[in-house]
Amino acid sequence: MNAQTADPTADKYRYKYLIGIAVTMAAMLELIDTSIVNVAIPHMMGNLGATLDEISWVSTGYIIANVIVIPMSGWLSAYFGRRRYLTFSIGLFVLASFFCGASRSLGALVFWRVVQGFGGGALLSTAQATLWEAFPPKEVAIGQAMFGMGIMVGPTLGPTLGGFIVDNWEWPWIFYINLPLGLIAGLMVWSYVRNAEHQEKADTIDWLGIGLLTTGVGALQWMLERGERFDWFESKFVTSLAVISGLSFIGLIWRELTAKEPVINFRVLKSRQLATGVAMAMLLGFALFGSVFVLPIFLQGLHNFTANQTGLVILPGAIASAFTMAIMGRFASKIDARPLIAIGVLGFLWCMWTLSRLTIDAGASDMFWPLIVRGVSLGLIFIPLTSASMAELKPWEIPQGTGMFNLTRQLGGSLGIAIVATMLSRFTFQAKSQLTQHVVTIGTDAQARLEFISRGLVGRGMSPAVAHQQALMVMDRMVTAQASVLAFSRIYLLSGAALCLSIPLMLFWRHGKSRAAVQAH
C-alpha cells in the first residue's frame, strides 16, 4: 500500500528503514559521483579531445552546482513538498547521468554534469532532514547512522568503482551505473517518504536571495577549485572571484535577515548548539577531505598503485567507520557527545601522526591500522556531532539546520582540498631545495652514489656521457620522491591539527545531549 494513502492511525514510523535505505542510497550516489569521475579523466580527455584544464570543468561544474543547491534545499523542500522535491531531484540526477554518459562533446558533458549537480544537491541535506522525522525521537541516531555510513563509504567507493569500470568497460558506464540504483531509490522515496509535518510553504520566491546565494557560493567554489592553478591572489581573476564572493555573501546575509520569507533562514544560527556545530562541521570537512584527497596521491604517485588498489587500501577504514556509526546509532543518544567527539578527534590525530612517519618504503600494510583507527574516530565524531548540533532546533528548523551543516562541511572540504593541493606543491619544493643543498654539502656520498648508478648504466651498453646524464636524472627523481614524502608528512600533521581546533569549540555548547534527550526533559 502507498504510504501516502495509508490509514492515518497507522504507525507513521513503520517504513523508517525503507526510507533510510532509499535516501541513503540516493546520498551515496551523489557522493560517489563527486569522486568517481576523477579516475576516468584521462579516458575522457582522449575520447573528447579535451585538455586537462578543459576537462576539469566536468568536476568543477558538478561541485559548484551542488553547493549552490545544498543551502536552498530546506526552502525548496518546503515550497514543492519534500516527497515531490526529493523524487524530482533523484529523477533529474538519473536523467542527467544518462545524458552525461551519452555526451559526445565536452560542452554537452559539462552541461549535463551541472544539471546532475543541481539534482544531487538535494540528496544530502533533504535526505538527512527526512531521517529526522522518519525515525521516532529515541531512534533518530539510528537514521543518522545510516546516513553517516553512506557519506563515509560513498567517497571511498568512488575511485574503486571508477577504476574497475574504466579498466573493464568504457568511461560512460561510470554514469550509466546510476540509472538502475537511482530509479530504485526514486521509486522507494515516492512510495514511502512523507511531506514534512511542520514545514510551511513560502508564499513568495526570494529571487534576490537565490541570486546572491548562487553568485556567492558559485564564485567561492570556483575560486577554491582554480586558486592553486592560478597561484591564488597573484591572479586578478582569483582576486576578483574572492571580492565577488565576499560582497555577495554580505548582501545575502543582509537580504535573508530582512526578507519576510528568506530562502535561507540564518536566524536558526541563534541556536548556540547549531552555530558551534556548523563551525565544527567545517573543520571536520577540512580535515577529512584534505586527508582523503592526499592519500591517493601518495599511493599512486610514489608507489604506483592503481585506482583499484588505492580503493582497496582505503576501504577497510571506511567499513570500520560504518561499523562504528552503526553502534553509535544505538547508543549515542544516551551518551554525552563531547567526550565521544574528543576521543574521535584524538584518534584522528594519532592516525595523522602515524601516517606522517611513513617512509618511501611504506606499503599498504603500514597504513592498515592507522586507517582503521581513522575510520573508527570519524564514526565517533559524526553521529554525536550531528545529534548535539540539532538538539535545540524546532522541528520546522531541521531542514535549514541540516542544509547549513552540510554546506559548511562541503565548503570546509573544498577549502581543505584547495589548501592541501597548494601546500603539497610548496612543501615539496621547500623540502627538495633543502635536500639538494644537503646532497651537495655532503658531496662524497652523493658522488659515490652517482658513480655507482653511472657504472651500472654503462654496463648496460650506454656511453659514459649518456649514462652520467641518466644517473643525474635518477638522483633527481630520488630526491624528489623523498621531498614528496616529507611534504606528505607535514600535510597529515596539518589535517590532524585542524580537527583538533574543534575540541575547544565544544566549550560553546550548552550541553552534549542529543535531540531525543533534550525532548525527554
Residue 481 has pLDDT above 80, yes or no: no
pLDDT band at 194 (very low <50, low <70, confident <90, very high): confident
- What value does the mean pLDDT of the chain take? 79
Three-state SS at 235: coil
The CA–CA distances, whole Å, from 496 to 290, 296, 349, 374 equal 10, 17, 5, 11
Per-residue pLDDT at 331:
74
- The yes-or-no answer to whether 1-203 and 265-521 have a common fold is yes
Residue 1 has pLDDT above 50, yes or no: no
Ranges 106-115, 380-389, 463-472: which has the least confidence: 463-472
Per-residue pLDDT at 517:
59
**If we measure between CA atoms, which residue out of 239, 290, 222, 240 comes closest to residue 57?**
222
Phi-psi map region of 89: left, alpha, beta (phi>0 left; psi -120 to 50 alpha): alpha
| Grid cell listed for 198 | 511542520
Place of cell 576523477: 38
Highest-confidence segment of 267-271, 317-321, 369-373, 464-468: 369-373
Give pTM, 2 decimals: 0.80
* CATH number attached to the domain at 1-203: 1.20.1250.20
CB-CB contact of 125 with 399 (8 Å): yes
Query: What's CA 273's distance to the chain center, in Å?
Result: 23
Helices 140-168 and 16-48, interaxial angle, to 10°? 30
Higher pLDDT, 178 or 40: 178
pLDDT digits 0-9 by tens, 273-286: 999 999 999 998 88
- What lies within 8 Å, CB to CB, of 12 at 6+ separation is 194
Instruction: Provide the residue ranges of all domains of the chain, joining segments of one domain with +.
Output: 1-203, 265-521
Per-residue pLDDT at 360:
77
Cα 399 to Cα 125: distance, rounded to the nearest angstrom:
7
Ranges 48-62, 84-98, 257-271, 331-345: which has the least confidence: 48-62
Residue 353 has pLDDT above 80, yes or no: yes
Cα 349 to Cα 362: distance, rounded to the nearest angstrom:
19
Residue/partner pairs of 422-430 with CB below 8 Å, 24 or more apart: 422/227, 422/228, 422/232, 423/487, 423/490, 423/491, 423/494, 424/294, 424/297, 424/487, 424/488, 424/491, 425/228, 427/486, 427/487, 427/490, 427/491, 428/480, 428/483, 428/484, 428/486, 428/487, 429/483, 430/487
* CATH number attached to the domain at 265-521: 1.20.1250.20
